[in-house]
Amino acid sequence: MKKVWIPLTYLVFIVLLIIPILKIFTGSWAEGWSGFIEALTRKQSLHALMMTGIIVVVVTVLNTIFGVMLALYLVRATWLGQRIKNLLNSLVDLPYAVSPVIGGLMIVLILGPSTALGAFFEDIGFKIVYALPGMILATLFVTFPLMVREVMPVLQEIGAQQEEAASTLGAYSWYTFWHVTWPSIRWGVIYGVVLTVARSLGEFGAVLVVSGNIMNKTQTATTLVYQDVENFNVVAANGVALVLAAFSVGLLLLMEWAKKRKEVH
């Protein structure tokens, strides 16, 4: 049996994952080095990569802070009843169940230029939909569960005793968090960051809907790939896609490294 299953597994991996990845590499070199460079140094490519970069940084920072705090509350807080905790806990997963396109649509529906809120913000000169804030919001929504879901099980596993011990030794919550809790959840947070970066880097549907995909203004790397494909400019699409894929593979490697480090500790 073993002789059948292992080659079969290899086959699935090669067909489904390895060949496609290689194809992106070869595809972007189809017109040689210059074609690849040209695809990347187009004005819209550079702008799109910059937009993606901004979104990744802002979203990761915000969702890390809020995600860790919410995880702490959902596991530890005594000021929340158990029922409310359970309810909030299941609400955390909602973005998983929501198609990214729908996620984007929600933001358009609530904050779009034709809504009361959207009009209000536009009046004070703060454009949300079809602008960067909306794209960040959409990505925040989509990536929110990742951090919470990485940190919560770690908190549950370590239990509250070490924190209680710290409090009987006179430490208040801030000190306890940094000196007792943080060292234990550090790796969970790192995983969460990696996942959040990967997801916000690759977010497409929600951003596409919210941004309007305006070249050189609200276009991100993934929506640029989409546009290039739609325009049958496959080589250019490949160039940008290669950069994104390289980042993803890099993140995956980082994750593996982190897991190994953690096992050593």
Partner 1 sequence: MHIEVRGLNKQFGDFHAVRDVGFEIAKGHLIGLLGPSGGGKTSILRMLAGLESPTSGDIIFHGKRVNDLPPQERGIGFVFQNYALFKHMTVFDNVAFGLKVKKQSKDQIRDRVMQLIELTGLKGFEHRYPHQLSGGQRQRVAFARALAPEPQLLLLDEPFAAIDAKIRTELRTWLKEMIERVGITSIFVTHDQDEAIEVADEIMIINKGRLEQKGSPWDIYKNPQTQFVASFIGESTMVEQVERLRGFEEAANWPGTQALIRPEYIEIGKRHEFRIPSATVQGRVKHLHFRGSEWMVEVEVGDIKLITYRSLEKDVLQPGEEVHVLIHRAYLFNDNDTWIMENKLKEDPMPVHI
Partner 2 sequence: MNIRFRSRWWSFGFRSTIMLYFVLLIVLPIIGIYTQSFKLGWTPFWESISDPLAWKAVLLTLKLAIIATVINIFLGTMIGWVLIRYRFPGRRLLNSLVDLPFALPTAVGGLMILLLLGPNSLVGSIASGMGFDIVFHEPAIVVAMVFVTFPFVIRAVQPLLEEMDKSEEEAAYTLGASKSHTFFNVIFPSMLPGISSGAMLAFSRALAEFGAVVLVAGNIPGKTLIASVYIFGEIESDNPQGAAAVSVMLLTLSFLILWAVNLVQTRRLGK
Site for partner 2 in 219-258 (CB under 8 A): 221-223, 225-226, 229, 234, 237-238, 241, 244-245, 248-249, 251-253, 255-256
The residue range among 36-44, 70-78, 121-129, 154-162 that interacts with partner 2, by the rule CB under 8 A, is 70-78
Backbone angles phi, psi at 140, to 5 degrees: -55, -45
Does residue 215 interact with partner 2 by CB under 8 A?
no
Partner in contact with 169, chosen from partner 1, partner 2, none, beta carbon below 5 to 8 Å by kind:
partner 1
Whole-number minimum distance, CB 260 to partner 1, in Å? Answer: 18
Partner in contact with 175, chosen from partner 1, partner 2, none, beta carbon below 5 to 8 Å by kind:
partner 1
Do residues 151 and 64 touch, judged by C-beta distance below 8 A?
Answer: no
Name the token pair of 6.
């292992």
- Report CA dihedral (137, 80, 89, 251) to the nearest 10 degrees: 60
Partner in contact with 167, chosen from partner 2, partner 1, none, beta carbon below 5 to 8 Å by kind:
partner 1
Partner in contact with 58, chosen from partner 1, partner 2, none, beta carbon below 5 to 8 Å by kind:
none
Q: Which of 132, 198, 211, 218 binds partner 2 (CB under 8 A)?
A: 198
d(CA 95, CA 147): 13
Length of the chain: 265
Whole-number minimum distance, CB 183 to partner 1, in Å? Answer: 4
Does residue 10 interact with partner 2 by CB under 8 A?
yes
By beta-carbon proximity to partner 1, the closer residue of 23 and 179 is 179
Identity of the amino acid at 104: G
Does residue 171 interact with partner 2 by CB under 8 A?
no
Do residues 220 and 55 touch, judged by C-beta distance below 8 A?
Answer: yes
| 219: CB partners within 8 A, 6+ apart | 44, 47, 48, 51, 211, 213, 227
Does residue 175 interact with partner 2 by CB under 8 A?
no
Kindly list the residues in this chain that would bind partner 1 in the complex (CB under 8 A): 161-162, 164-172, 175, 179-180, 183-184
Identity of the amino acid at 6: I
Does residue 58 interact with partner 2 by CB under 8 A?
no
Identity of the amino acid at 155: L
Question: In terms of C-beta density within 10 A (0-12 exposed, 13-18 middle, 19 or more buried), how is residue 36 classed?
Answer: buried
Identity of the amino acid at 77: A
By beta-carbon proximity to partner 2, the closer residue of 2 and 83 is 2
